[in-house]
Amino acid sequence: MKKKAFIAGNWKMNKGLGESIDFLSTFSAAIDSDLSIIDILQEKLEISIFPPIVSLYLMKQQKMNAHLSFGVQNVYWKDSGAFTGENSVSMALEAGAVYALVGHSERRHLFGEDDETVRKKFDTCTKMKLQPIICVGETDIEREKGLARSVIERQVEKVLEAPDEIENNKSLIIAYEPVWAIGTGKSATADDAQRSCSLIRDIVEKMKGAETADRTVLLYGGSVNVANALDFLQQDDIDGLLVGGASLDPEQFLGIVRLAASLLSER
């Protein structure tokens, strides 16, 4: 099966129950009334929202979400126990998540998650069939020191070292999100994002073979908005977007989805 393009909205710690349902009703009504998007959603594009987990459960219960999937922003790798504040993979699945962000830079840098932690989360998600979205990317300082490439290599390789997990995985999804571009309004250039995504595909090919590399869905994230989304989506190795701030507003997020749908309708 041909892989679908993927537009994800990472809400971070924004929107409680009321605001989430308001967003869902506005966004779903707009999608449902736009036949050009509906057509593309059947075969070529997936839209997924990553709300706070309490809102996710409620959103999932609503009848107006036929064209959307949902994911969690974080999970713990153990199934249950004394881990205050954490949610397990089985809890995320029960709440209605299909995807989990793993290793988002805010988890790595604000909550001290290292490569080993990210790898354990990836392994558990994969084993339990919650599709992980691995997030990688260099900081500003690493970039200035010319270390961007080696940081991306280390982060991707560490996760892919897992022996058999990927074989059971329907496909890998990896988001390249340079840390300096997240929430700053300073996005990478489309060329830089393409270069990094191409590097990631090469690493996947080297470690897991050409077929897996080809199937891998690569996202760019970091200050994506309606004005720059198309530049990224037009790149050969960019299969979708991980959108933070601009996904909080239904109109802006819809604008990005519309751009993706019109591009895909020409392919």
Residues that bind ligand PGA (CB under 6 A): 10, 177, 182-183, 221-224, 242-245
Which of residues 129 and 186 has its CB atom nearest to ligand PGA in the complex? Answer: 186
CA-based torsion, 37, 43, 45, 48: positive or negative? positive
As measured in angstroms, the least distance from the Cβ of 2 to ligand PGA is 25
Longest dimension (CA), the chain: 52
For residue 39, report the phi and psi dihedrals to the nearest 5 degrees: -55, -45
- Taking residue 150's Cβ as centre, other Cβ atoms within 10 Å add up to 12
As measured in angstroms, the least distance from the Cβ of 35 to ligand PGA is 28
Which of residues 4 and 12 has its CB atom nearest to ligand PGA in the complex? Answer: 12
As measured in angstroms, the least distance from the Cβ of 230 to ligand PGA is 15
- Partners of residue 176 on adjacent β-strands: 136, 220
Q: Minimal CB distance to ligand PGA: which residue?
A: 244
As measured in angstroms, the least distance from the Cβ of 103 to ligand PGA is 11
As measured in angstroms, the least distance from the Cβ of 49 to ligand PGA is 12
Token pair 């897996």 in the structure block, residue? 212
Residue spans of alpha helices (H) in 98-222: 105-110, 115-127, 140-144, 148-160, 190-208, 210-215
As measured in angstroms, the least distance from the Cβ of 192 to ligand PGA is 15
Task: Give the residue numbers marked as catalytic.
Answer: 104, 177
Which of residues 71 and 244 has its CB atom nearest to ligand PGA in the complex? Answer: 244
Residue spans of alpha helices (H) in the chain: 17-32, 35-43, 53-61, 89-95, 105-110, 115-127, 140-144, 148-160, 190-208, 210-215, 229-233, 250-265
Q: How far is CA 253 from CA 47, 67, 76, 226, 257, in A?
A: 10, 14, 28, 8, 6
Can you read off the two tokens belonging to residue 206? 């080297």
Token pair 């070292």 in the structure block, residue? 161
Can you read off the two tokens belonging to residue 157? 């390789």
Q: How far is CA 184 from CA 131, 222, 227, in A?
A: 28, 8, 15
